[in-house]
Structure 1
Amino acid sequence: MPQALDLAGRPLQDVPVLVADTGLDLQHPDLAPRLYALPSAVAAPSAEGAGGTVQAGRPGWDLIGTNAPGALAPDDDPDDPPGGSGHGTMVAGVLGAAWNNGVGGAGVAPNARFVALRTCWDGDECFQSVQAPAIDWAAARGARVASFSWLSGPLEDGLRDAIVSHPQTLFVTIPSGNGGAFDADGDDPQPCGLDAPNVLCVSTSAPDDGLDCGAFGPRSVDVAVPTRNNITTTNGGGFGPTSCATSFAAPTAAGVATILFGIDPSASPADVRAAIIDSARKVPAWAGKSTSGGIVDAAAAVTLFQQRRGIAPGNGGGGGAGDSQDRTKPSLTVGGGRVSRGFASFSVRVSEPGTVRFAIERRLSGRRASGRCRPATAANRRRPRCVRWAAQRTQSITFRDGTAGVGADAKTRKVRLAMKSSSGKRLPSGTYRVVVRATDAAGNRSATRTVTLR
């Protein structure tokens, strides 16, 4: 992403965005600085005519106000509920977590401003009757991008009208859950299937550019994005790694769209959508599997968008053969993985200076429901069994020039990770793995390496 920002020919303007989901952790250090603030008090959005007022300075509204579907009890606190899934917080972090603040990672778009509206319960319970007034309210506040990490089912008139009646907002949505690669065209996923110039449908790509856990479809899917092994925000002020999930695909592409709108706010959603699709990096696995046949390339999208808008490139040189920007991915070698006395030991070598991130994940069994592997409960005990990897803790270590572990021929560096959770508690017995990735000074990322602990 730094390469794409280097190519921006204008300073990015802040762009209001809507993540219609379970809410946002409003106190999170990576999200609080990026919240929208209402300039003056206005009527609150309402799905049932409940009324209410959003006061000046507030970021948004809770349209549902309860922890489970039922009678709505809207209020002025769009926080992601404590103890819940934190789905909205994670999705928002992918799109626009704060940059350069010394904590966590960074979202795709440093210029995103979150219009905070809580519209979904956990478990992908996102009623269309709630989404429509949320869209209307966010669009009236200037939201240029709306990210949906859920499927609506057959479109109701209210949601269809809300999308179509706001042609200045780009709606980024997904074709499926995470049940694996399949052709979604026959299912007519919605809102992906809505024939509108302001709808962009995004699926997942694997680290090797192949198909992954999301669906494909030359009529349904526009582009794919990689979603594994990044860092995002978690409820309660924490951070955790991302995985293969279409929930992370929508905000990734939405972040790229936010950057493009930040370069030129006068652009239409059709302009932004076309730049993202037409600049996608073509790969064999996606040929004939989507409209673009490729994977989102943020730098190429910025370059093409600016060419079409008559905007000169920034210091990155505009891409292409003459571009002097460093785009070489670092190579990473990881060995070891033995656990002894509460520590996991590794031998690590990276080809150039940078930061190496270690993400500890625990293997858990569950039941597949609504396209996801969820914790086993009495309600889903008859669903198929599945395996999921739950984030426990991440740790980043700097590898400096001239030190052990840096250089293609250098000796490996010994690294020890404490087997503790992000809260400092000792991890219980079980099966664990560590996902490792290196990032160099230019922002280039290595291929991921996964080590199963023993």
Structure 2
Amino acid sequence: MASSTHSRGRRCLALTAAAGLLALTGPVLPATAQPPAPGQPAESGQPPPQNDAFQPDSGPLSPVGPEYQQQTACMAPNPGGGAIEERPWSQMVLGYEQAHSEELTGEGRKIAVIDTGINPHPFLPPVDDGGSSVPGGGANFDCDGHGTIVAGILAAQPNDGSGFIGVAPDAQLMSLRQSSKLWQTQQDGQTVGDTETMAQAVQHAVDSGANVINISQSSCQAIAQAANPNDPFNGALHTAVKNAYERGVVVVAAAGNVEGACQKNPSGDPTTAVLPAWFDDYVLTVASVNEQGAPSEFTVPGPWVDVAAPGEGLVSLDPGPGGTGLASQIATGQGGELGPIQGTSFAAPYVSGLAALIQERGIEEGQQYSAQQVMERIKKTALSPGGTGGRNDIVGHGMIDPMAALHNVIPAEHGKAPADTGPARLDADVIPQKNWPAIMVALGTTGGGIAALIFTAFLINAVKRVRSRQG
């Protein structure tokens, strides 16, 4: 789907964290939806209108005004340190550690994380501060804990006593603290972050040299709103992701969770648009699957969904400020009860990390992959779920297969010769089967020879007897 611009009745459209089940130490704060805009819904699959005249601010993010106040305490770190020895299921099923053994670790790649900030952590390298829209600290502070979990899946380094490691542990992270559920206006509960500030963050990331941008956030709107050409803020987001794409930057976004304004779309006939996923030509959108490979109940379908990745029962860094270990559960719900780490927010960084590894592979091979080449490679090597064209609206082209994407498995793209179809060498553990036709022929030939020999001996003996009688 091509890009679109958007309409809304007021300036600030709250962006809900795509991991809707991620809650902090207090109650989950509700997302604020836009009021419906007039107009007819756009036909599904039609290119949305564009607004290329808007040029987002390329500088650091603009902080919000004093009307925003912190309503809930920051997420607390795990007091026990969060020791987790085993390798997470997501890590084992994706198998990206094999890429690390091939010295593909994201070195030389910069991944921008547009989120709630990233807390310093012993398992992370120093993180670049890309600016903040949120009060109470810069981009290297994460009161919500959301961005820190994303960062851990992306680039956590190996550590003693745990099998957990990020997809691209040697990549350089840049944090852009663009939103928070904890900071709200007193008047109407509006939260920090909208499509304009997201556009600013994307543009600033590109201008700062990012190679990959991870957006584990989403703005859900009616299709009519998403297709409205008169909204400068949604148009700004369109312009930003299009510019990123054209400059070779891979933008990866979460598909969104069923929560608040984000509702499940009927197959083939969406009623809710998810931004920035709506700009499908320029964004790689990620759905969530569970440990059995089935689509997560909370993942929002849509024709813009491209691939899927693990998004349930995950392990990442302890997200609380001052955390030092790992976490497999975080505070959720109104009472802060512990719950699993899950959401399309946390499926997205698996794909962002893979994009960085593919770019690194290209550089090793003397190639500079475009954003389109990286995105297509990830889609074409995914585990197809079936459906028309090898995809469906729930998981797109299917769960990613990192090693298939990193190796030369697309001959048309790489010009590789087809595999040799000649006879294979017999393996030592294969017991040869008897070739009965050949054995019968051999036995028949041998029997004929023996019969001829006996007949010859009989003739010689008969001739001798005849001559003895004549003599």
The equivalent of 1:175 in structure 2 is: 255
Alpha-carbon displacement from aligned partner over 1:395-430 (angstroms, at most 9, x marks no partner) = xxxxxxxxxxxxxxxxxxxxxxxxxxxxxxxxxxxx
Residues 303-314 of structure 1: pairs in structure 2 closer than 5 A: 303-304=407-408, 310=414
Q: Does 1:262 align with 2:355?
A: no
- 1:79 and 2:140 equivalent? yes
Determine the C-alpha separation between the residues in 2 that align with 1:311 and 1:15: 26
Query: Is this contact kept in 2: 1:128–1:159, CA < 8 A?
Result: yes
SS in 2 for 1:146: strand
Q: Distance in 2 between matches of 1:13 and 1:307?
A: 26
> Is the 2:215–2:251 contact (alpha carbons within 8 Å) kept by the matching residues of 1?
yes
Find the aligned partners of 1:10 and 1:30 in 2 and give their Cα distance. Answer: 19
Partner in structure 2 of residue 246 of structure 1: 344
Equivalent residue, structure 1, for 2:51: none
Deviation at 1:142, TM superposition (A): 1.6
Match of 1:201 in 2: 285
Distance 1:271 1:247 in 2: 24
Cα distance in 2 for partners of 1:159, 1:25 equals 26
Cα distance between partner residues in 1 of 2:101 and 2:163: 25
8 Å Cα contact 2:295/2:395 also seen in 1: no
Matched, 1:188 2:247: no
| Alpha-carbon contact 1:21-1:126 (below 8 Å) kept | no
Uncovered stretches (5+) of structure 1, i.e. residues with no partner: 36-58, 68-74, 313-321, 323-454
Which residue number corresponds to residue 236 of structure 2? 158
Q: TM-score normalised to the size of structure 1?
A: 0.54
Aligned-residue offset at 1:164:
0.9
Question: Matches of 1:65 and 1:243 in 2, distance apart?
Answer: 24
- Work out which of the residue numbers 210, 214, 219 in structure 2 matches 1:143: 210
State the partner residue of 2:107.
13
Q: 1:61 to 1:223 in 2, by over 3 A?
A: closer
Shift of 1:270: 0.7
The 1-side partners of 2:169 and 2:392 are apart by 33
Partner in structure 1 of residue 306 of structure 2: 222
Looking at structure 1, the residues matched to 415 and 179 of structure 2 have their Cα atoms a distance apart, in angstroms, of: 39
The answer on 1:295 being equivalent to 2:399 is: yes
Deviation at 1:66, TM superposition (A): 1.0
Counterpart AA for 1:66: P
User: Matched residues in 2 for 1:214 and 1:8: separation?
Assistant: 35
Q: How many Å apart are 1:176 and its aligned residue?
A: 2.0
- Tell me the amino acid that sits aligned with residue 122 of structure 2: P
Instruction: Please say which structure displays the higher CA radius of gyration.
Output: 2
> C-alpha root-mean-square deviation of aligned residues, in Å?
3.2
Within 5 Å, give how 1:9-48 maps onto structure 2.
12-26=106-120, 28-31=121-124, 33=125, 35=127
Take 1:146 and 1:95, find their aligned partners in 2: how far apart are those partners? 11
* Displacement of 1:5: 0.1
After superposition, the C-alpha distances for 1:355-401 in whole angstroms (9 at most, x for unaligned) are xxxxxxxxxxxxxxxxxxxxxxxxxxxxxxxxxxxxxxxxxxxxxxx
Per the TM alignment, residue 225 of structure 1 is displaced from its structure 2 partner at its CA by 1.1
Aligned letter for 1:298? P
Aligned positions of 1:336-351 closer than 5 A:
none
Partner of 2:181: helix, strand, or coil?
coil
Inter-CA distance 118–273: structure 2 relative to 1 (3 Å threshold): same
- Return the offset for 1:293: 3.7
Q: Which secondary structure state, in structure 2, belongs to the residue aligned with residue 300 of structure 1?
A: helix
C-alpha contact (below 8 Å) 2:106/2:171 kept by paired residues: no
User: Does the 8 Å contact 1:176/1:215 carry over to 2?
Assistant: yes
Alignment check: 8 A CA contact 1:275 1:304 kept: no
Q: Distance in 2 between matches of 1:307 and 1:7?
A: 24
Which residue of the partner structure matches residue 421 of structure 1? none
What is the distance in 1 between the residues matched to 2:254 and 2:130?
Answer: 24
Deviates more, 1:265-274 or 1:7-16: 7-16
Q: Which has the higher strand share?
A: 1
- The Cα of 1:118 is off from its aligned counterpart by 1.4
The alpha carbon displacement at 1:90 in A equals 0.8
Give the drift of 1:14. Answer: 2.2
* Aligned-pair CA distance for 1:9: 8.1
Q: List gaps (5 residues or longer) in structure 2.
A: 1-94, 183-190, 221-225, 227-232, 329-339, 417-423, 425-471
* Distance change >3 Å, CA 7–CA 271, structure 1 → 2: farther
Q: Which amino acid aligns with 1:130?
A: T
Report the alpha carbon displacement of residue 272 of structure 1 after superposing the two structures with TM: 0.9
CA contact (8 A) 2:380 2:397 kept: no
> C-alpha deviations, 1:218-276, integer Å up to 9, x for none?
51211111122332112222321153311101112111111111212411111111111
In terms of fraction of residues, the more helix-rich structure is 2
Paired with 1:288 and 1:94, the residues of 2 have a C-alpha distance of 26
Q: Distance in 2 between matches of 1:219 and 1:251?
A: 21
SS in 2 for 1:250: helix
Please give the alpha-carbon distance, in whole angstroms, between the structure 1 residues aligned to 2:181 and 2:405: 33
How far the C-alpha of 1:170 sits from its partner, in A, is 1.1
Q: What amino acid is the match of 2:112? A: L
CA distance in 2, matches of 1:289, 1:60: 36
Counterpart CA distance in 1 for 2:360 and 2:386 is 32
Show the 5 A alignment for 1:51-450. 59-67=128-136, 77-81=138-142, 84-100=143-159, 105-122=164-181, 125-153=192-220, 154=226, 156-167=234-245, 168-179=248-259, 182-183=264-265, 185-196=270-281, 198-217=282-301, 219-233=303-317, 234-235=319-320, 236-237=322-323, 238-241=325-328, 243-265=341-363, 266-283=368-385, 288-290=392-394, 292-304=396-408, 310=414
User: RCO higher in 1 or 2 (8 Å CA, sep ≥ 6)?
Assistant: 2
Amino acid at match of 1:64: S
Q: State the alpha-carbon separation in 2 of the partners of residues 9 and 121 from structure 1.
A: 36
Asked whether the 8 Å contact 1:104–1:239 carries over to 2, the reply is: no
Within 2, Cα distance between the matches of 1:247 and 1:291?
Answer: 14
CA pair 79-9 structure 1, distance change in 2 beyond 3 A: closer
